[in-house]
Chains A and B, each alone.
Chain A
Amino acid sequence: MHELSLARDLLVAIERKLDRADARVVRVSVSVGSAAGIASESLRFAFRIICEGTRAAGATLSVTTIAARGRCADCGIVFEFDGLIGRCPGCGRLGGELLSGDRMILRTIEVADV
């Protein structure tokens, strides 16, 4: 349940970006690599709980999953993972050296100034 720690970190990052004292967060968009080991549903749930009583209370968290990409150790083909690992479309080998898709990126924060 590391999503609880991540939700807390996300809230801290959001609060740092709020430029006005009266800004209330309505919606937050993040993208998560499929190899980041982050469960979207757990993150949304944890985020809702963590935000209670803050300026982001009730805000919607939109999570877009980005397919991770990796390189086959045998034939060198770069391909998209299906989740945490992938299968090389060239030789069928399972695994792949991860090239991207292990991060969470805070994209946008939609705020209402009240």
Chain B
Amino acid sequence: MCDTCGCDAPAVRTIEVNERLLASSAAHAEHNRAHLSGRAILAVNLMGTPGAGKTALLEAMIAKWRGSRRILVIEGDQATERDSARIRAAGATARQVETGLGCHLDARQIHDALHHLDLRAGDLLFIENVGNLVCPALFDLGERLRVVVTSPTEGADKPLKYPPMFRAAQLVVLNKCDLIPHVPFNLEQWTEYVRAINPHARIINTSALCAEGVEELLDAIDDVRRSFCAGISA
């Protein structure tokens, strides 16, 4: 019964919560992180615009690393197995996740995919997210390293227009840098915008097509991997 006037409306009381809402997938993300850390597997969340060259960069990295590293790739796309087929052709193991109407990968999908991969200690796991500069930035998959890939044809102001994505990345890659002389793109301006949003990110210019900058990207990932492995053994 109502406390105010005694009418039949039920009394309303307030439950104080004041807690940060963690996505329910956050628990899955932590589970993934623990699972992968236990095997010293560095997981890299590779995000970026559709067509920035994420898959091409993976192919270029696999080509350089083949024989010296076991590389596993979880491919996220709305539809088709096309990217997984490219990764397998390049010489790495791939597991495709088709998200259907989903605009990003989530930690549950990664968890399921991990169960279909033959994980071994020291493997390097790339998660190629759905091409999208918005939603993937907001979902933790259990990765240790976030990389965002863009290209000159997208314009210099992308970092300002999609701040959460650029803020969330430790590595920002400008792929297709061989196009810079041919398109109206101001590299200095772009770099300034990335810095304005994320002063700590490492910026690497690459061209997957010309195999430029790929070594630097591999070194940057290896740096993270070394400190990650040192952290585990400590």
In contact, B21 and A10 (Cβ under 8 angstroms): yes
Known: A84-B163, A97-B198, A97-B199. A26 touches B12 (CB 8 A): yes
Chain B residues whose CB sits within 8 angstroms of the CB of A84 once the complex forms: 163-164
Known: A17-B15, A93-B196. A8 touches B20 (CB 8 A): no
Chain B residues whose CB sits within 8 angstroms of the CB of A9 once the complex forms: 21-25
Which residues 4-61 in B have Cβ within 8 Å of A in the complex? Answer: 9-25
Which residues 97-114 in A have Cβ within 8 Å of B in the complex? Answer: 97-98, 102-114
Q: Indicate whether B104 reaches chain A with its CB closer than 8 angstroms.
A: yes
Which of chain A's residues has its CB closest to B26's CB? A9
Q: Mark A1-39, 1 if CB is under 8 A from B, else 0.
A: 110011011101100011100001011001000011100
CA distance A19 to B42 in the complex (A): 41
Which residues 125-177 in B have Cβ within 8 Å of A in the complex? Answer: 134-135, 137-139, 159-160, 163-164, 167
Which residues 68-108 in A have Cβ within 8 Å of B in the complex? Answer: 73, 84-85, 93-98, 102-108
Chain B residues whose CB sits within 8 angstroms of the CB of A17 once the complex forms: 15, 17
CA distance A5 to B102 in the complex (A): 10
Q: Mark B110-124, 1 if CB is under 8 A from A, else 0.
A: 000000000000000
Chain A residues whose CB sits within 8 angstroms of the CB of B88 once the complex forms: none
In contact, A108 and B23 (Cβ under 8 angstroms): no
Which of chain A's residues has its CB closest to B193's CB? A95
CB distance from A22 to the nearest CB of B (A): 9
Q: Indicate whether B106 reaches chain A with its CB closer than 8 angstroms.
A: yes
Residue from A37, A103, A106, A112 having most chain B Cβ neighbours under 10 A: A37
CA distance A48 to B15 in the complex (A): 20
Interface range, B side: 35 or more
In contact, B11 and A105 (Cβ under 8 angstroms): no
In contact, A103 and B20 (Cβ under 8 angstroms): yes
CB distance from B100 to the nearest CB of A (A): 13
CA distance A2 to B23 in the complex (A): 11
CB distance from A88 to the nearest CB of B (A): 9
CA distance A12 to B159 in the complex (A): 33
Q: Indicate whether B86 reaches chain A with its CB closer than 8 angstroms.
A: no
Q: Indicate whether B103 reaches chain A with its CB closer than 8 angstroms.
A: yes
Chain A residues whose CB sits within 8 angstroms of the CB of B23 once the complex forms: 5-6, 9
Which of chain A's residues has its CB closest to B17's CB? A106
In contact, B196 and A2 (Cβ under 8 angstroms): no
Chain B residues whose CB sits within 8 angstroms of the CB of A104 once the complex forms: 20-21
CA distance A106 to B17 in the complex (A): 6
CB distance from B213 to the nearest CB of A (A): 24
